[in-house]
Amino acid sequence: MSARRNLAVFLSLLVLLHAYIGLRLLPDLGVGLPGMLGGTVLLLVSTVLVPVGLLSSSLRRRRRSERLAWAGLLAMGLFSSLIVLTFVRDLVLLAALATGLGSAELDYYSAPAVPLLALAVTLVGFFNARRVARVVKVDVPIDGLPAALHGYAIAQISDIHVGPTIKRPYLDAIVNRVNGLGADAIAVTGDLVDGSVQRLSAHTQPLARLAAPDGAFFVTGNHEYYSGAEEWIVELRRLGLTVLLNEHVVRVRGGASLMIAGVADFSAHHFNPAHRSDPVAAAAGAPRGLAVRILLAHQPRSATAASAAGFDLQLSGHTHGGQFFPWNLFVPLQQPFVAGLHRVRRLWVYTSRGTGYWGPPKRFGAPSEITLLRLVPA
């Protein structure tokens, strides 16, 4: 009953928000009765398509369902911008009214600006999301870094979300770019998929081509647990990735030892108690004299525990950098960092903006990235 009640609340809210857009924009557009009817029909279509977009990862694998998923996710992205811009317009109109600057002309000219700007943002966001992520190079200063590890490079990809609109060709292009970086190791920091192994295994095959001298590593994100984490762990190991579930490996360069550890997602214990995220367990049994300790953890909020466990660098994702405005404003409510390199005591934390996208094929103000992190002396 709770799930049905939540669904009913969500659908009611969705209807009300679309009605709000229509009531606030259509009368001021000056399009007459035919335009009002056309706009109402478009809003009704959007009201139906947005839930389809949210459920797109569970649609049956048919050509028609893939087109429906695309339509739903595009509608979701456009609706997001429409509702935000409609609300912003109302704030502007209220401010103008309060200061004596309100007028019928302002109402008239601002109304079409909202859908036009929402459409422009959605189109730009679409091209930003669908292009191959650019390489972002980051130097991480490490105290006492041995000369043998100067310039040690890790290529990080995160939050690709292979699923309704991200398929094999998209992942192929990412793998090609990562392999071209010549990194010493590769880290895949979670949220790789949105869907089951049965549904998506053909599209994740390019991961078998990831190649680096010290290996390619994977840690689970929250979306793996929505998609059958145990099955995905088996599949990724089959593809040749080293899955780190609260465990580590040690690599040696010129007599200097480096540890790469990984924890399960911060919320994994809600799905599988045996996967409780534990940086201390991930480092357990490590040899003494390690020059650098690196932790792969999907969510930045693992940083406090990672710092206490003695790690030097944590690589995370999860946030997408907010993906597009205004959701970047809400990330700090859950995570300590939105994107980039930050410090928690002696621990460096790098948070990737993600290499793919979730939901709407839309990125605006938060470009996707493939990150090349190099260790340099402090």
Q: Are residues 81 and 216 both part of a single domain?
A: no
Which of 130, 155, 184 lies at the terminal end of a domain, its last residue?
A: 130
Q: Are residues 230 and 192 both part of a single domain?
A: yes
Q: Are residues 217 and 83 both part of a single domain?
A: no
Q: Are residues 356 and 222 both part of a single domain?
A: yes
Which of 108, 130, 152 lies at the terminal end of a domain, its last residue?
A: 130
Confidence at residue 12, expressed as pLDDT on a 0 to 100 scale: 93
pLDDT in tens, 4-55: 788 789 899 999 999 999 999 999 988 888 889 999 999 999 999 998 877 7
Mean pLDDT for the stretch of residues 172-195: 97
pLDDT in tens, 269-286: 999 999 999 999 999 999
Q: Are residues 176 and 316 both part of a single domain?
A: yes
Mean pLDDT of the chain: 94
Nearest residue to 349 via CA among 303, 291, 308: 303
Whole-number Å distance between alpha carbons of 328 and 376: 30
Confidence at residue 59, expressed as pLDDT on a 0 to 100 scale: 67
Name the residue type at position 171: L
**Domain residue limits at 22:** 2-130
Mean pLDDT for the stretch of residues 123-151: 97
Which of 130, 157, 190 lies at the terminal end of a domain, its last residue?
A: 130
pLDDT in tens, 53-105: 777 766 666 667 888 889 999 999 999 999 999 999 999 999 999 998 888 89
Q: Point out which residues pair with 347 in neighbouring strands.
A: 344
pLDDT in tens, 320-360: 999 988 888 889 889 999 999 999 999 999 999 999 999 99
Confidence at residue 60, expressed as pLDDT on a 0 to 100 scale: 64
Q: Are residues 344 and 293 both part of a single domain?
A: yes
Q: Are residues 360 and 242 both part of a single domain?
A: yes
Q: Are residues 221 and 340 both part of a single domain?
A: yes
Q: Are residues 182 and 271 both part of a single domain?
A: yes
Whole-number Å distance between alpha carbons of 356 and 157: 9
Q: Are residues 91 and 183 both part of a single domain?
A: no
Q: How many domains does the chain have?
A: 2
Sign for the pseudo-dihedral over CA of 231, 236, 242, 246: negative
Q: Are residues 27 and 101 both part of a single domain?
A: yes
Q: What is the pTM of this model?
A: 0.92
Burial 41-68 (b: 16+ CB within 10 A, else e): eebeebbebbbbbeebbebeeeeeebeb
Burial 323-348 (b: 16+ CB within 10 A, else e): bbeebbeebeeebbbbbebbebeebb
Q: Are residues 166 and 285 both part of a single domain?
A: yes
CATH number of the domain that 344 lies in?
Answer: 3.60.21.10
